[in-house]
Structure 1
Amino acid sequence: MNDNFTEEITPLLIEWRRTLHQNPELGFMEYYTTYRIGKELEKLGFIIHVGVDALESASRMGVPDEPLLTEQENKALHWGVEESWMEKMRGGNTGVVAIWDAEKNGEHIGFRFDIDALPIKETDAKDHFPSNHGFRSQEDGVMHACGHDGHTAIGLGLAHFIAQYNDSLTGRYTLIFQPAEEGGRGAKAITDKGWLDEVDQFYTGHIGINPYPVGTIAATTRGFLASTKLNAHFKGVASHAGMKPEEGKNALLAAATAATQLYAIPRHSGGPTRINVGKMSAGSGRNIIPEASYLEIETRGETKEINRYVLEEAKRTLHAAAMMHDVEVMIDFVGETEEIECDDSLITTITEACQSSNYVTEVLPFAKVSGSEDASFMTNTVQNNGGKATYMLFGTELPYGHHHPAFDYQETVISVAVDAYIHILKGGMSHE
């Protein structure tokens, strides 16, 4: 077996990352991204499932409105996506699941890589690496500001290894390129399709989050929170603010009342909780009583039960604010995650496997994190069916944090992650 595989494929990893970075797409609109991934996997000989064949369409959450989907579909067709591929993806059914069977008895190992970008305008500052190396986002207001371009490149690198070393492999491999991770919207749709039901070991992870040196990885993580994402629409009555203010029902005030009072939800003694109002819009003019307003909200808790407490209190607060101002409120649920508890037994597996890596310099047993991850649906399904699962971190310097317009990472971390996964696979390889 060629121990230089990672070194040899690194130029391709960088090329894939930069191409994807230039062409970012938001969740459930990753048509071009899905196509590029699928064509590469098809060329390698994987059995691929795309779009409606890869996910349970009815389980998607927070699907964009039809005009946005149509606009992105037309753009992707212009970028070269074949019509036959688009037919499987139309309406926001994106993502790829790739299957490889080595046709020798062994474990079923699954990997997940998220592929979506964020609604952020990327900086054009000269000291921003993508800007001064010619691969800044070409989509105004859309950016890979969380490293998913690198995650996708990692998955493709691992796929190349599997295809090249099939003769030494045993068991089955499922590679999941998941849409709409941002906002906790896509993983459940993949999970509900059944891809994780028979997986024995499941690995996923993230570039960065904690700013470790390149070469340092964490075998497990602790601290991801269960979360619910919701949108609240207040509907009031418009009226002239000077002549007939008493006839108006002010939706803006209802939203403002809700926004401030949501932060007054008592903490929970059972564990950490979070609440955030991330967006508010309302009104049409200074002399008009606002008839409509809109909030984007998220709740979080250490467990599903604690998050449910925050969620129920949030719903009660929203309804109370609406009642106070005599307006209506509609609540849409647009995303969800569960907590993650990694299998500590995989710490030894990963640490021992990476001892011979020329790229991994240190394996931390765990990293403390916060935030939320919809890969939780996948890890929990694997564990509930008797398998083992973990969420890893791959260290890199972070000049700016995730979801920042100047976010970037050291590209060498992509090779580190590929090599770590390769060495995990090597631990279960045939050595005949």
Structure 2
Amino acid sequence: MDIFELRRDLHAHPEVGFTEFRTANRVVRELQSYGYSVAYGIDVMVPESRRGLPSADQLTRAYQRAKEDGADETILRAMDGGLTGVVATLKGRGDGPTVAFRFDMDALPIMESQESTHLPHINGFRSVHDGEMHACGHDGHTAIGLTFAKMIASQPFNGTLKLIFQPAEEGGRGAKSMVDKGVVDDVDKLFCFHLGLDLPLHAVSGGTNEFLASTKLEVHYQGVSAHAAAAPEKGRNALLGAATALLNIHALPRFSSGATRVNVGVLEGGTAPNIIPDKAKMVLECRAETYEDNLDLEQRVRAILEHSALMHGLTYQIENIGEAATAVCDPELKEVVLEAAKSVPFFTDYQDEHPLGASEDATFLMRRVQERGGKVTYSILGTTIAAPHHNPKFDIDEEILPAAVDLLLQIAIQSLK
């Protein structure tokens, strides 16, 4: 199967974070067939470090779906419960550095477009799972990673090549569990990348800036039901407490030290107009240009959540369901990427850095490598997109796929000497 068929197969079978059973299963089998030593499941993830784990029912349904689709049951069993990370290692001929490449695999909970102009729909590879879609290009990332893995395996090199296939990037939920397991503790150079992000086709950036640190919280308020007319004073309105928190969170001041963001994306509660709501659920996020500012912002948000509960006589629970840090790319590796790109005729526009303006949990991998004396970068590979990221009409120009593989090959050849 060529890279275009591979990407389209992955696109048609999207799996959201920690349910990538079919995708990860295929990744393991292909990597093993290329001669890699492959670890997966609990061997590459700390279960307790995962954030925003899907419900047990959702995990079971996705597991069964992958099984029915022909996934290897021995591999599946090791991934049961959402342990869908994969790490492959290939030793070179002689001594040298450990060079790692990271690829994310997860899709998004989005209903894919069925409009007549949407190419995946026209060409028969639209998502077969309603409500799940590859709307950020991770299908392309995984296809690039597997094709690169096959091609580099036949090349002579020194040192050690490590390929990290990460689950649950969306929402900042999967990388930390792999960091805590130590999968990058031996890495000297780490290369991460993303397709699109407003960079045009034929352009490449050596690195990325404007990572936003992020924390995502799920909050449950518990109150007391009562008749809204006959005994309103007997009730404790959980929805009102949540609404109080919402308004005050959005009233938080911006920071002079850097960009900050807050957003309450989900607010649910109540059963009928004549019943005081006894339960409410809120899902929100805060982001900041610096890791320290985000920690400060998170503490302010938590204070609002707590005091809104106290105001209305409620109990509450707060769960961290996702997070990302900030990171700085190393100039040495940015230069490696750009020099490698100059040897791939496809690329004609070379940029030192490109702004992300969003969050990415690869930052945890990057920070750990740097803490241990290694170098990192996060590159953007330009491609025309049919609609913005996380949009039902999102699609990539597949012309970037073989060029990206060639770029990674050149990076690996230069780095594994």
Summarize the alignment of residues 107-122 of structure 1 with structure 2, pairs less than 5 Å apart.
Answer: 107-122=97-112
Once the two structures are superposed, residues 302-350 of structure 1 have per-residue CA deviations (whole angstroms, 9 ceiling, x without a partner) of 2221001110000011112112222112101111111011002223222
Q: Aligned partners of 1:30 and 1:361: how far apart in 2? A: 35
Q: Is the Cα–Cα contact under 8 Å of residues 99 and 415 in structure 2 kept in the other structure?
A: no
2:347 maps to 360
Q: 2:33 aligns with which of 43, 51, 69?
A: 43
Partner of 1:244 in structure 2? 231
Alignment match, 1:395: 382
| Residues 87-166 of structure 1 mapped to structure 2, 5 A cutoff | 87-165=77-155
More deviation in 272-281 or 414-423? 414-423
Q: Is the 8 A contact 2:14 2:107 kept in 1?
A: yes
TM-score, structure 2 as length reference: 0.97
Q: Which residue of structure 2 lines up, in the alignment, with residue 317 of structure 1?
A: 304
> Residue 109 of structure 1 aligns to a residue in which SS?
strand
In the TM superposition, 1:48-63 aligns within 5 A as: 48-63=38-53
In structure 2, distance between residues paired with 1:428 and 1:28: 31
d(CA) in 1 for partners of 2:150, 2:345 = 19
Q: Which moved more, 1:150-159 or 1:395-404?
A: 395-404
The answer as to whether partners of 2:270 and 2:278 remain within 8 angstroms in 1 is: yes
Secondary structure of residue in 2 paired with 1:150: helix
CA 1:372–1:429 in 2, change beyond 3 Å: closer, same or farther? Answer: closer
Matched residue type, 2:228: A
| 1:205 alignment partner in structure 2 | 193
Paired residue secondary structure (1:288): coil
**CA displacement at 1:429 relative to structure 2:** 5.5
Which residue does 1:271 correspond to in 2?
Answer: 258
Per-residue CA deviations over 1:140-184 (Å, capped at 9, x if unaligned) read 10011111000101111110111121xx21110110000010110
Say whether 1:293 aligns with 2:286.
Answer: no
- The CA RMSD over aligned residues, in Å, is 1.2
Task: Please tell me the residue identity of whatever aligns with 1:23.
Answer: H
Amino acid at match of 2:288: G
On the 8 A contact 1:276/1:298 being kept in 2, the answer is: yes
Q: 2:371 matched to which residue of 1?
A: 384
Counterpart-to-counterpart distance in 1, 2:416 and 2:328: 27
Cα distance in 2, alignment partners of residues 411 and 288 from structure 1: 53
State whether residues 360 and 419 of structure 1, in contact with CA within 8 Å, keep that contact through their aligned partners in structure 2.
no
Q: Is the 8 A contact 1:359 1:415 kept in 2?
A: no
Separation (CA, whole Å) in 1 of partners of 2:403 and 2:244: 48
Paired residue total: 417
Residue 292 of structure 2: which of 273, 291, 305 is its match?
305
One-letter amino acid of the counterpart of residue 345, structure 2 = N
Q: Is 1:23 aligned to 2:43, yes or no?
A: no
Question: Contact conserved, 2:160 with 2:416, CA < 8 A, in 1?
Answer: no
Cα displacement (A) at 1:428? 3.8
Question: Aligned partners of 2:268 and 2:401: how far apart in 1?
Answer: 39
Q: Structure 1: which 4+ aligned runs deviate by more than 6 Å?
A: none
Stretch moving more, 356-365 or 105-114: 356-365
Percentage of matched positions with identical amino acids:
42
**How far did 1:60 drift?**
1.1
Q: Is the 8 A contact 1:48 1:99 kept in 2?
A: yes
Tell me the TM-score normalised to structure 1 length: 0.94
Shift of 1:287: 1.5
Distance 1:429 1:265, change over 3 A: closer
The aligned runs of 1:219-238 (5 Å cut-off) are: 219-238=206-225
Retained in 1: the 8 A contact 2:35–2:153?
A: yes
1:193 to 159, 181, 188: 181
The CA distance in 2 between the partners of 1:244 and 1:413, in whole Å, is 64
Higher mean displacement: 201-210 or 235-244: 235-244
